[in-house]
Structure 1
């Protein structure tokens, strides 16, 4: 299991990449229902952060496969 600091660093780098290289996708990050906690005070542990990182990677991969390739 990765340490929280490493996961947060990966999340930050990926979000910056999305913001810079895929601005059309960046606008949806705040609205992604997968990332919205349903609890009033969610527990943010390493597993939660790794799940969020996985969701971000999936979102980017899906966007690239379905939007970028269709423009070629």
Structure 2
């Protein structure tokens, strides 16, 4: 599997976790999504570092929320 596809799968898993277990954090999903590149949806045009950054932001939001005891 291509690296960007692996990262997208991880993003989907974390996003689903947030949606199912921390619905109050969904408001942050659209804010962090702005870090993803715009334009064509072709996989060739997606920068893996942008995807990694987005994945890390999602994890950070979720983990920080969990650490605060919510």
Q: Please state which band the TM-score falls in when normalised by the shorter chain.
A: 0.7 to 0.9
Two-structure CA RMSD over aligned residues (Å): 2.2
* Structure 1 runs of 4+ with >2 Å offset: none
* Aligned counterpart, 1:7: 7
**Structure 1 gaps, min length 5:** none
Q: How many residues align?
A: 63
Deviations for 1:10-37, whole angstroms, at most 9, x for unmatched residues?
00111011000100111221134xx424
User: Is there any run of 5+ residues in structure 2 with no aligned partner, and where?
Assistant: 40-44
Q: TM-score, normalised by structure 1?
A: 0.72
